[in-house]
Amino acid sequence: MNQAFLDYYNLQPLWELIHSALCSVMPEGLAIFLECVVVGVIIMVMYAVLAIILIYMERKVCAAFQCRIGPNRVGGKGGLLQVPADVIKILIKEVFKLKNADQLLYAAAPFLVILASILTFSCLPWHNGGEILHMNIGILFVLAASSIGILGILLAGWSSNSKYTLIGAVRSGAMLISYEISIGLIVLTMVMLSGTMDIHEIVMGQANGWNIFKGHLIAVVAFVIYLIAGNAEANRGPFDLAEAEQELTAGYHTEYSGMHFGFFYLAEYLNLFITAGIATTLFLGGWMPLHIAGLDGFNAVMDYIPGIVWFLGKTFFVVFLLMWIRWTYPRLRIDQVLTLEWKYIMPLSLVVLLVMAVCKVYGLVF
């Protein structure tokens, strides 16, 4: 990518200018506090808006695959106001307090799930200089923060004092812990290709070509493995055993209502977006534009498109692929899910990591 365009679209000078302006009229500590509050509000607004978009997209994609119309009542023929209406309904519903539940853990579980989701959401590289949380081990922090959500699911299932929620939580725990191994191996493979764990540097390293092209066939295989394991990590079909309605009512969050249930519902869809966002970052260049060698005119036009447009476009493309998987394959049994991971996906992930290491040592990847 042309260095002039990288500098032009870099948001870091803007943030420094705002910080300097605030520090000129107030103490630096107060300025930092105000910046943190504003950033927190922005994160929550983006989180809620993206959840509404994803829920509506899911309903429309599901309807298309099943030859249905989808939402068509609230908000005209397109049903645009159906999801906001559902959000309002959740907000005004009563939050139940179970008599025989472990009250502390029961109340804490949905907050742990939403905390893990927000932490990982904040690490996504939206634009050049547009990372909310930026650190030199960013991808390691994402893996660590996402693991907190498993604790919330296990606590929700156990503390509710219900056999349905407990079975759902045990299933989810076994599945998530298993597939986290494959995701970790695939992330390590792409870190090896990029040579850094800094999310910003991973994206910058793809200025001359996305990793899925630079890594050749091995990167394509890694991308497919990531999509499969990512679907499992997001508790989505055909891996949605923790919420199997025919067997477990609603699974680990059966006994939750109102906003507490809304937290689980919200986190599920944002985890879908986060999974797609990490895939975009590791494989598809993040906010980097598409360049084709030899087509300088085409590449120049691509450079004019802002990075956030590229990032959102690629991420929603991966979201569509994940939805495609969900609405194409039937739900697997728990033994099939674990067999797929331990006998096929994880050994293949180890092979991918080993081959990438060999290719990197001998200079077969760029």
For residues 169 and 158, the answer to whether their CB atoms sit within 8 Å is yes
Q: What distance lies between CA 129 and its chain's CA centroid?
A: 20
pLDDT at 294 > cutoff 80: no
The phi, psi pair for 125, rounded to 5°, reads -85, 90
Rounded CA gap, 239 and 231, in Å? Answer: 7
- How many C-beta neighbours within 10 Å does residue 294 have? 7
For residue 75, give Cα distances in angstroms to 55, 64, 66, 84, 266: 15, 19, 22, 10, 21
pLDDT, position 300? 82
Q: What is the pLDDT of residues 195-253, one digit of tens each?
A: 899 998 999 888 888 999 888 899 999 999 999 999 888 888 788 776 766 666 667 88
Q: Mapping DSSP to helix (H, G, I), strand (E, B) and coil, where does residue 215 land?
A: coil
pLDDT, position 244? 66
pLDDT, position 246? 63
Rounded CA gap, 118 and 366, in Å? Answer: 34
pLDDT, position 7? 52
pLDDT, position 223? 95
Averaged pLDDT score across all residues of the chain: 86
Q: How many domains does the chain contain in total?
A: 1
For residues 107 and 152, the answer to whether their CB atoms sit within 8 Å is no
Residue 287 included in any domain: yes
Q: What is the CA radius of gyration of the chain?
A: 22
pLDDT, position 319? 94
For residues 22 and 242, the answer to whether their CB atoms sit within 8 Å is no
Quote the domain boundaries for residue 104: 96-361
Helices of type H across the chain? 3-8, 12-23, 28-65, 82-92, 103-121, 138-146, 148-159, 163-194, 199-204, 211-214, 216-233, 245-248, 258-283, 296-303, 307-326, 334-339, 346-361
Rounded CA gap, 215 and 41, in Å? Answer: 38
pLDDT at 3 > cutoff 70: no
More confident residue, 242 or 137: 137
Residue 345 included in any domain: yes
Both tokens of residue 210?
A: 């996305």
Residue 66 included in any domain: no
The phi, psi pair for 131, rounded to 5°, reads -75, 135
For residues 207 and 6, the answer to whether their CB atoms sit within 8 Å is yes
pLDDT, position 354? 94
Residue 52 included in any domain: no
Residue 41 included in any domain: no
pLDDT (average), residues 161-178: 84
For residues 242 and 271, the answer to whether their CB atoms sit within 8 Å is no
Q: Mapping DSSP to helix (H, G, I), strand (E, B) and coil, where does residue 125 land?
A: strand
| Diameter over CA atoms, the chain | 69
Residue 12 included in any domain: no
Q: Do you know the residue count of the chain?
A: 366
pLDDT, position 247? 62
Q: What is the pLDDT of residues 18-73, one digit of tens each?
A: 888 888 888 888 888 998 899 889 888 998 899 999 999 999 999 999 888 888 88
For residues 115 and 153, the answer to whether their CB atoms sit within 8 Å is no
pLDDT at 191 > cutoff 90: yes
Residue 351 included in any domain: yes
pLDDT at 97 > cutoff 70: yes
For residues 234 and 172, the answer to whether their CB atoms sit within 8 Å is no
pLDDT at 2 > cutoff 70: no
For residues 104 and 111, the answer to whether their CB atoms sit within 8 Å is no
Question: Which of 131-135, 138-142, 171-175 has the highest mean predicted lDDT (pLDDT)?
Answer: 138-142
pLDDT, position 74? 83
What pTM does this model have? Answer: 0.90
Q: Residue with structure tokens 């055993």?
A: 241
More confident residue, 359 or 241: 359
pLDDT, position 345? 93
pLDDT (average), residues 108-136: 88
Question: Which of 10-14, 47-51, 166-170 has the highest mean predicted lDDT (pLDDT)?
Answer: 47-51
pLDDT, position 188? 94
Q: What is the DSSP letter of 128?
A: T
Q: Mapping DSSP to helix (H, G, I), strand (E, B) and coil, where does residue 99 land?
A: coil
